[in-house]
Amino acid sequence: MKLIKGLFTLIGAIVVIAAIIGAVTIGPKIAKLDPQALPEYMKMFDKVLTTGDPAKGMVRRVKMVIPEGMTKAEAFENALDIMDETAAEYGLAMVDNKTMPRGGKLFKDGGLLTHIRSYCSPAIADKFLTHSREFIGFMPCRIGFIEEPNGDIYIYTMSMELMINGGYTLSPDLLQLANEVRTGMYTMMEKAAAGDDD
């Protein structure tokens, strides 16, 4: 019995020492992070644990409404027009777009819709690349349309919270620009999904 009690005491002491070492070595590093970093990482990690899919922890999606009286193709074209108009309001230019085949067919030929559209503000991009070259991995901002086999269309974009708040706090000017881009991208997505640019 004394052996078991001694073993548990030893294990407890090791855990306490490890916690103290962790707090001393990691604590100051965590304190330097943006105040929203840990909550945002936890949101992402919760989605990953729930779904087992890391992409679901890093991407936003919204279902596209097909307005009454429109075909799916017309609703898609309308959504693109709305996105481009909204992008211009936020100083974002459409810099690329690709429609990809699925199952060997393009959407226009009866295949499922898969379309990716890219937007960027060169002036904002330049400021972020001056801050950190690795931001190139987030550029340009993309919005994608994916049609499900049941005909529903979803619009996707990268969740930008970790890009903005996942490290040290950005300078006030970079934070303002990043929030403007995020607001623009999310607004484009929401308006396009609703089929209404009001």
- Residue 16's pLDDT is 65
Q: What is the CA radius of gyration of the chain?
A: 23
- Residue 53's pLDDT is 94
143-179 as b/e: b if 16+ CB within 10 A: bbbbbeeeeebebbbbbbbbbbbbeeebeeebeebbe
- Residue 13's pLDDT is 65
- CATH architecture label of 59-194: 2-Layer Sandwich (3.30)
Report, as an integer, the average pLDDT of 187-191.
Answer: 96
pLDDT digits (tens, 9 = 90+) for 131-146: 999 999 999 999 999 9
Residue 198: pLDDT band with limits 50, 70, 90: low
Residue 2: pLDDT band with limits 50, 70, 90: confident
With beta carbons less than 8 A apart as the criterion, state whether 38 and 30 touch: yes
**Domain spans of the chain, in order of start:** 1-31, 59-194
3-class SS at 101? coil
Q: Is the pLDDT at 21 greater than 90, yes or no?
A: no
Say what percent of the chain tops pLDDT 70: 88
| Biggest distance spanned by C-alpha atoms of the chain | 80
Greater confidence (123 vs 28) lies with 123
Report, as an integer, the average pLDDT of 35-64.
Answer: 92
Mean pLDDT of the chain: 89
Q: 108: Cβ–Cβ under 8 A, 6 or more apart, which residues?
A: 73, 99
- For the entire predicted model, the pTM comes to 0.82
* Residues 197, 86: Cα–Cα separation, whole Å: 8
Q: Is the pLDDT at 90 greater than 80, yes or no?
A: yes
